[in-house]
Homo-oligomer: A and B are copies of this chain.
């Protein structure tokens, strides 16, 4: 759309700003626009909870077009969990609606005196009093705003009580609190800014340079979808369809990544959660995001008994929730996991971090590092779903022990002390998601060096290493041994570069291996923008964005010593993954070399930045 919106919550000033084409060609898409603004405008002396921080809602060039799965947007900020470059992306319909209103991004600065929400109706932008909505959960808030605005087409993103209370891993929720920009604590910054919600309605059309070409391409892709067994199964089972498979290869963590020491998760227990399996008990129907015929979203039934939801027909459990809130906490009751997931969505909590911080607390409890005096009487043994549910309430409300865990795994472990740090499964402060890098060596350097911390949305090589997925066009076709380090540093880099391109453009990563041929993404990008880049250039864009984030981190005093993993992953064999550990001592130096990063500082070298067209950043970073 060529325009962004700047909203200063301290001075209540709203301004439109045009983006120049030259700028957009270098800083492409949601991460490009948002990342450059973050780099330029957030000084190292600013904390995350700071009027000098920024909260950016950003879209890509394809977001809101008719391109398949192009419904995504990204929320960027200096993260209150990591102090690093933070971003989180989400599907749903909100990003597309922002484009329809005429904006590529919104940049928030300052901090409102009292809770506010923003109403964007095309170019009518208003800062409004949020007192009627403050204190509501994300779903209640979303519905109340849609109702009060009297237009069902309004798209809302908002925080729940967790964000209001600055729980450091709060999410920004969208689409009836069904979709979440969850990671890096973006919702906590929204809460700090006293910003409850952004409601958007637009009537514009997203410009596409060659509509005919794009339509033709989309017909091809939809035909591919129709004929693909993989896509058909994914439509039927959603992300839960992968659960049993990855559990069996030791990729999905159990018991805070400690595994068998605390219990077996055998096939019968896996079956209680998996699809096909126990998951079918809670599955009502499927759902979709903006322009997506894969339609991997699930809708959950209300159910019955003690784990009954507040109301039914709400967003279903995803793979990450099932694993992090379920088996990683030793819980195998699908009804309980369904409720836990729904509570996280309502409160606006990142389910990955929430599951991790609870599993961490459970391990501390099992090991006697903490006891009932610390947990307000909760019997925090692994597998105690009732205690876990109570704990989610306490975290979101910052009550008692929940106030401590609301700080995230890294901070909580330091507060508890007594060696608890060892059981904090996090990298740079971001909790590790439900993919154990002991099960695929490419995950090691990726998690260790990812600017956001351990983030599986930035370039996961699991499918390639464990399931023989190939990307011929990217030069990824060999058969990899997932326990071998050979070629893994390079593989991690390639996936990161590629996924950063895909993410930043506004596509869903699930489409990233389901368009059939990755060059189709580049063709779609060209059709939308009228440019004529090739795959090599697309990868270079991805690499540029990744290095932009790394440059931000270096500027904000993140050093090489933070490029590591919890000791457990480096030393304790994963029994379900052939007793493997992450061989980071081998892959990390290789990765640094391939990335062109300084081995001593961890910063991108001046040469690398210049090569990627980031001369200005290089000048700033090494002045």
Contact = CB atoms under 8 A, between A and B. Distances in A.
A610 interface: no
A10 B400 CA distance: 8
A172 B411 CA distance: 26
Interface residues of A, number: 40
A178 to B, nearest CB: 30
A403 B113 contact: yes
A65 to B, nearest CB: 34
A168 to B, nearest CB: 9
A398 interface: yes
B110 A404 contact: yes
Contact of A45 (B11, B416, B429, B623): B429
Nearest to A401: B11
A4 to B, nearest CB: 16
A429 B47 CA distance: 13
A362 B353 CA distance: 46
Q: How many copies of this chain does one complex carry?
A: 2
A24 interface: no
A83 B44 contact: yes
Contact of A52 (B46, B403, B411): B411
A195 interface: no
B49 A49 contact: yes
B47 A10 contact: no
Given A45-B428, A404-B11, A52 B561 contact: no
Contacts of A374: 11
Given A374-B11, A415-B11, A415-B110, A558 B404 contact: no
Interface centre among A8, A80, A415 (most CB of B within 10 A): A415
Given A374-B11, A561-B623, A623-B561, A415 B47 contact: no
Given A10-B415, A11-B374, A403 B111 contact: yes
Interface string A137-180: 00000000000000000000000000000000000000000000
A619 interface: no
A10 B403 CA distance: 7
A407 interface: yes
A556 B47 CA distance: 11
B416 A11 contact: yes
A48 B49 CA distance: 9
A47 B44 contact: no
Nearest to A402: B113
A51 B428 contact: no
Interface string A394-422: 00001110011001000100111000000
A127 to B, nearest CB: 13
Contact of A83 (B46, B112, B411): B46
A171 to B, nearest CB: 20
Contacts of A623: 561
Given A84-B45, A414-B52, A400 B113 contact: yes
A50 interface: yes
Contacts of A44: 83, 556-558
Given A113-B398, A415-B8, A83 B561 contact: no
Given A51-B411, A110-B415, A414-B52, A82 B45 contact: yes
Contact of A47 (B11, B80, B557): B80
Contacts of A416: 11
Given A51-B415, A110-B415, A558 B45 contact: yes
Contacts of A403: 10, 111-113
A143 to B, nearest CB: 30
A109 interface: yes
Interface string A28-62: 00000000000000001111111110000000000
Interface in A423-482: 428-429
Nearest to A429: B45
Contact of A557 (B407, B428, B555): B555
Nearest to A83: B45
A192 to B, nearest CB: 8
Nearest to A407: B51
Nearest to A555: B557
A456 to B, nearest CB: 21
A546 to B, nearest CB: 20
Contacts of A411: 50-52
Contacts of A112: 403
Interface in A54-84: 80, 82-84
A587 to B, nearest CB: 21
Interface string A87-123: 0000000000000000000000111110000000000
Contacts of A407: 10, 51-52, 111
Contacts of A11: 374, 404, 415-416
Q: Top 7 closest A-B pairs, CB basis?
A: A47-B47, A45-B83, A557-B557, A113-B403, A44-B557, A10-B404, A49-B49
Given A47-B48, A52-B407, 12 more contacts: A10-B404, A10-B407, A11-B374, A44-B83, A44-B556, A45-B428, A45-B429, A46-B83, A47-B50, A50-B411, A113-B399, A555-B557
15 contacts: A10-B407, A10-B415, A11-B415, A44-B558, A45-B82, A45-B84, A45-B558, A47-B47, A47-B50, A49-B49, A49-B50, A52-B407, A110-B415, A111-B407, A557-B557
